[in-house]
C-alpha cells in the first residue's frame, strides 16, 4: 500500500498514456466491415439418405467457396482487380452438419463491398455446382442474402483501449517494483525505523524554501509555529528520556538537504517558550559560529524572543575547544541545541557528537538512503554519540519571506504560544 501511495501518479499516468495511445492508433486504422450470406444445401425435407448426402455435400461446398475458380468468378462478377489469393484472405466459409447451412463471410474496407463480395461468392458457388446434372441433395438456395453492416468488425477500439490500459498498468507496476527493489533509497518511515533501530520521536513540518542569506533560526521561527503540537511532542519525549531536557543536544541530518537547521531552531524556540533559556548555535557553515540565545518573552503571549550570541575566541575544531564553547554557553543558557552537518559532509559533526549529551537525527525520507543511514549511524556511534531518536521532516507548501526581513530589522522574533502547557519541560 505504501508503494502504491508513493507511485500512484506513475501508475495512473502509465495507464492513461497507454489507453490514449491505443485509442489514437486504433481510431486511425482503416476499419474492416463484414457481411454474411447463408446457403441451404439440399431440400428442406427428404428421406434420411438424401439429408445425409446433403450434409456431406455442404462441407464440400464450404471448401469450394474459397477455391480459386470460385473466387476468380466472384472477382470477375464484381469487376474487382484482386487476385484469388488476396480474396482468399478475406473470404471464409463454414458448414453446419446439423442444419446443412453454408455460411460465407466476406470482409472489405467498405460495407457495400463486403456484402457484394459475399453474394458474388455465393453466386459463383451456385454456378460451379450447377454445371452438369445434380440431384436434389446437391442443390443450393440462398436463405439469407448478405446486406451491408455499418458497424466495423475491426479494429475493436474499446477492447484495444482496455487491453492497452491494462498492459500499461501492469508494465508500470513491474517497473515500480523493479525500481523499489534496485533503489537504495528509503521510501517508508517504518523502514527508516527498522534499519536505524531508533524510535520516531515526531513528525514535523518545515518551510519549503529557506533564504540562505538569513540565519536559519529566523526562517524557522516564522515558518511552522513552535506551538505546533509536533514540536511540543518532540520536546516532551526528549524530556521523558532523561527526566529533563538535554543540556547539550546535537541535531544533524543524513544529507545536506535535510532541514536540521530549521528543526533544531524551532525546537529551541519551543523549549524557550516554556520558560527556559536555550542557546541555539549553527556549526554547519565554513565561517565562524552563528548563534542565538532564545529566552522567554516578557509577556507570555509573545512566547519567546531571540538575540544574537557573541562568541569569544575559541577553537571549534577539536574536542577540547568544543567543550569549552559548550561550558561558556551553559553559563548563559539552561540548554544548548547545536545544528551540525552530517558527518559525511563535515568531520566537525563527530567532534560535536562527542561533546554533546544527546543527538537527534532529522530526516526527509525522500533524501535518505540505506547506505547513507548505515554510514552515518556507524560514524556517530564511533564518536560516542547518544542518539535519542529520529525526527521525520516534511516540507510545507510555502514559507513567508517578507516577515523574515521585518523580523531581522527588529532584531526580535516572536515565536510560539502557550499551547499544550502540560508538555512543558521543568525549569532548571
- Which range has the worst mean pLDDT, 78-87, 202-211, 216-225, 230-239? 216-225
pLDDT for position 290: 82
Residues 224 and 345 occupy one common structural domain: yes
- Establish if 373 belongs to a structural domain: yes
Residues 176 and 189 occupy one common structural domain: no
- Establish if 315 belongs to a structural domain: yes
pLDDT for position 315: 62
Q: Across residues 282-308, what is the average pLDDT? A: 74
CA dihedral 215, 221, 223, 229 (to 10 degrees): 140
Domain CATH for 57 = 3.30.70
pLDDT band at 376 (very low <50, low <70, confident <90, very high): confident
Residues 247 and 383 occupy one common structural domain: yes
Q: Across residues 330-351, what is the average pLDDT? A: 87
- Establish if 149 belongs to a structural domain: no
Residues 273 and 382 occupy one common structural domain: yes
Q: Does 422 score more than 70 pLDDT?
A: no
pLDDT for position 383: 87
- Establish if 428 belongs to a structural domain: no
Give the Cα separation of 339 and 283 in Å (integer): 6
Residues 260 and 116 occupy one common structural domain: no
37, β-bridge pairs: 104
List Cα–Cα distances, 104 to 39, 65, 71, 408, in angstroms.
8, 7, 12, 89
Q: Across residues 342-367, what is the average pLDDT? A: 86
Give the Cα separation of 423 and 409 in Å (integer): 32
Residues 159 and 191 occupy one common structural domain: no
Residues 367 and 270 occupy one common structural domain: yes
178 or 413: which leads in pLDDT? 178
Give the Cα separation of 14 and 264 in Å (integer): 41
Q: Which residues contact 243 (CB under 8 A, 6 or more apart)?
A: none
- Establish if 404 belongs to a structural domain: yes
Q: Across residues 189-205, what is the average pLDDT? A: 86
Q: Which residues contact 317 (CB under 8 A, 6 or more apart)?
A: 348, 351
Which of 109-118, 317-326, 374-383: highest mean pLDDT?
109-118
- Residue 130 phi/psi, 5-degree rounding, is -80, -10
Q: Which three cell numbers stand for residue 327?
A: 561550558
pLDDT band at 127 (very low <50, low <70, confident <90, very high): very high
Residues 398 and 274 occupy one common structural domain: yes
pLDDT tens-place string over residues 243-264: 889 999 999 988 877 888 889 9
309 or 62: which leads in pLDDT? 62
DSSP conformational letter for 6:
H
Residues 70 and 164 occupy one common structural domain: no
Q: Does 356 score more than 50 pLDDT?
A: yes
Range of the domain at 356: 185-423
Give the Cα separation of 206 and 223 in Å (integer): 7
pLDDT band at 364 (very low <50, low <70, confident <90, very high): confident
Q: Across residues 376-381, what is the average pLDDT? A: 87
Give the Cα separation of 335 and 245 in Å (integer): 7
- Establish if 326 belongs to a structural domain: yes
Residues 166 and 20 occupy one common structural domain: yes
Q: At what angle do helices 111-129 and 68-77 cross, to 10 degrees?
A: 130
- Establish if 150 belongs to a structural domain: no
Domain CATH for 259 = 3.40.50.300
Instruction: Tell me what the pLDDT averaged over the chain comes to.
Output: 82
CA dihedral 59, 60, 65, 67 (to 10 degrees): 130
Number of domains comprising the chain:
3
Sign of the alpha-carbon torsion through 279, 282, 283, 288 = negative
Residues 132 and 224 occupy one common structural domain: no
224 or 198: which leads in pLDDT? 198
Residue in the structure block whose three cell numbers are 533559556: 277
Q: Across residues 213-224, what is the average pLDDT? A: 45
Residues 160 and 191 occupy one common structural domain: no
- Establish if 395 belongs to a structural domain: yes
**Global pTM?**
0.57
- Residue 403 phi/psi, 5-degree rounding, is -65, -30
CA atoms within 13 A on the CB side of 142: 17
Maximum Cα–Cα distance across the chain: 126
Q: Does 17 score more than 90 pLDDT?
A: yes
Amino acid at each position: 500500500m505504501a508503494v502504491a501511495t508513493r507511485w500512484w501518479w506513475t501508475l495512473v499516468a502509465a495507464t492513461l498514456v497507454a489507453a490514449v495511445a491505443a485509442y489514437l492508433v486504433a481510431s486511425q486504422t482503416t476499419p474492416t466491415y463484414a457481411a454474411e450470406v447463408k446457403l441451404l444445401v439440399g431440400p428442406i425435407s427428404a428421406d434420411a439418405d438424401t439429408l445425409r448426402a446433403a450434409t456431406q455435400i455442404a462441407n464440400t461446398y464450404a471448401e469450394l467457396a474459397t477455391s480459386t475458380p470460385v473466387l476468380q468468378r466472384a472477382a470477375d462478377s464484381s469487376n474487382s482487380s484482386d487476385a484469388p489469393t488476396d480474396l482468399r484472405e478475406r473470404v471464409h466459409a463454414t458448414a453446419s452438419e446439423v442444419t446443412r447451412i453454408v455460411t460465407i463471410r466476406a470482409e472489405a474496407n467498405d460495407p457495400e463491398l463486403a456484402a457484394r463480395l459475399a453474394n458474388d461468392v455465393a453466386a459463383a458457388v451456385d454456378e460451379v455446382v450447377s454445371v452438369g446434372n445434380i440431384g436434389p441433395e446437391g442443390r443450393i438456395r440462398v436463405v439469407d442474402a448478405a446486406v451491408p453492416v455499418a458497424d466495423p468488425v475491426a479494429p475493436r477500439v474499446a477492447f484495444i483501449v482496455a487491453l492497452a490500459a491494462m498492459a500499461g498498468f501492469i508494465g508500470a507496476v513491474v517497473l515500480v517494483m523493479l525500481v523499489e527493489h534496485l533503489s537504495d533509497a528509503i521510501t517508508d518511515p517504518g523502514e527508516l525505523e527498522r534499519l536505524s533501530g531508533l524510535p520516531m520521536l515526531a513528525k514535523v513540518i518545515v518551510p519549503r524554501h529557506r533564504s540562505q542569506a538569513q540565519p536559519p533560526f529566523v526562517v524557522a521561527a516564522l515558518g511552522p509555529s513552535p506551538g505546533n503540537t509536533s514540536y511540543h511532542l518532540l520536546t516532551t519525549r526528549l524530556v521523558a528520556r532523561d527526566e529533563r531536557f538535554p543540556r547539550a543536544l546535537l541535531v544533524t541530518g543524513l544529507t545536506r538537504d535535510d532541514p536540521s537547521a530549521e528543526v533544531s531552531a524551532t525546537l529551541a524556540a519551543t523549549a524557550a517558550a516554556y520558560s527556559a533559556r536555550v542557546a541555539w548555535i549553527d556549526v554547519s557553515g565554513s565561517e565562524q559560529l552563528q548563534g542565538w540565545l532564545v529566552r522567554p518573552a516578557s509577556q507570555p503571549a509573545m512566547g519567546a524572543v531571540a538575540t544574537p550570541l557573541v562568541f569569544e575566541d575559541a577553537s571549534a575544531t577539536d574536542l577540547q575547544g568544543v567543550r569549552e564553547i559548550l561550558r561558556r554557553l551553559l553559563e548563559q543558557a539552561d540548554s544548548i541545541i547545536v545544528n551540525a552537518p552530517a558527518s559525511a559532509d563535515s568531520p566537525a559533526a563527530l567532534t560535536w557528537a562527542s561533546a554533546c549529551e544527546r543527538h537527534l537525527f532529522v530526516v526527509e525520507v525522500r533524501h535518505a538512503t540505506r547506505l547513507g543511514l548505515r554510514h552515518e549511524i556507524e560514524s556517530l556511534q564511533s564518536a560516542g554519540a547518544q542518539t535519542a531518536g529520529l525526527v521525520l521532516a516534511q516540507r510545507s507548501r510555502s514559507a513567508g519571506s517578507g516577515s523574515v526581513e521585518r523580523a531581522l530589522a527588529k532584531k526580535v522574533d516572536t515565536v510560539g504560544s502557550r499551547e499544550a502547557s502540560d508538555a512543558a519541560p521543568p525549569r532548571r
